[in-house]
Amino acid sequence: MKAIVFDVFGTIVDWRSSLINQFRALEKELGIELPSEALTDQWRQHYAPSMDRVRKGEIPWTGLDDLHRESLVTLLKQHGITLDEATIDRVNHFWHQLEPWPDVQRGLQKLKEHTIIATLTNGNLSLMVDVARYAKLPWDMVFCAELFQHYKPDPEVYLGACRLLRLPPEEVMLCAAHNYDLAAARALGMKTAFIPRRTEYGPQQSKDLTAEQEWDFVAEDLVALSERLIGY
C-alpha cells in the first residue's frame, strides 16, 4: 500500500461542533437569536440530496460551496431569518473553518512518515485548501470531487485519485468514518480503513457507530491506525 486517501467531513474534521460554535458567535455578534443546532443539523441534511441532484443529472455540475449556499438560503427562509448577502456568504464560509478531531494532526503526521496522504472528499478545491490551512492538515495532495466532476460514491472519484497517483486501486487505501464510502472504495479494489466518529452527528447519532463489514483495518482513531500500519 503506497497511499492513503481520507474522507474529510466527519472523518477528519468535526463539522457539527464547528458550525454550531460559529453560529453561536454570530448570534452574539448580531444580537439576534439563531437556532444554531437546528440550522447545523438541517444544513447537513441537505448535503446528500443536493449532491444527488448533480449525480442524477438534474442540474449541471455544481461545486459544494454553491450547493451549501443554496441550501442555506432555503433554510434561512424556512426559519424566517433575514440576513444580508454578505452575511450569508460569511455563514457559508463556516464550512471553511472546521476544527479537526483531537487525534487528527498527530495521526496524520505519523502516517505521512510512511505513506502518501491525501484527501478524497466531496468538498471543492478552495474549500478543502482552506480547511487544510485552518486545521493545519499536512496533506501531500488534495483530491476532491471538483477535479473529477463527480460526487462520491460515483466510481470516477475513487478511480480518478488512483489514476492521478499512478497507482492501482489495490495500492491505495480509503480511510473513512462512513461505511457507505468504504463499500464504494472496496468495490473498486481499494483497501479500506474504518475510523468511528460516534458523535459526528451529535449525541443522537444512530449510524456509522461501528464497522458494518470486515474492512481491512478498523481503529479507534488515526493514531491507533498509524500504529497498526507500521510494518504493513
Measured distance CA(54)–CA(62) in Å, rounded: 7
User: Would you identify the CATH topology of the domain 3-14+98-229?
Assistant: Rossmann fold (3.40.50)
Q: What is the pLDDT of residues 86-126, one digit of tens each?
A: 999 999 999 999 999 999 999 999 999 999 999 999 999 99
**Domain spans, the chain:** 3-14+98-229, 15-96
According to CATH, the superfamily of the domain at 15-96 is Putative phosphatase; domain 2 (1.10.150.240)
With left for phi above 0 and alpha for psi between -120 and 50, is residue 159 left, alpha or beta?
Answer: alpha
Is the pTM of the predicted complex or chain greater than 0.75?
Answer: yes
C-alpha angle 33-200-204 in degrees, rounded to nearest 5 = 75
133-153 pLDDT tens trace? 999 999 999 999 999 999 999
55 torsion bin: left (phi>0), alpha (psi -120 to 50), beta (else): alpha
Cell matching residue 61:
455540475
Residue 33 CA to its chain's centroid (Å): 28
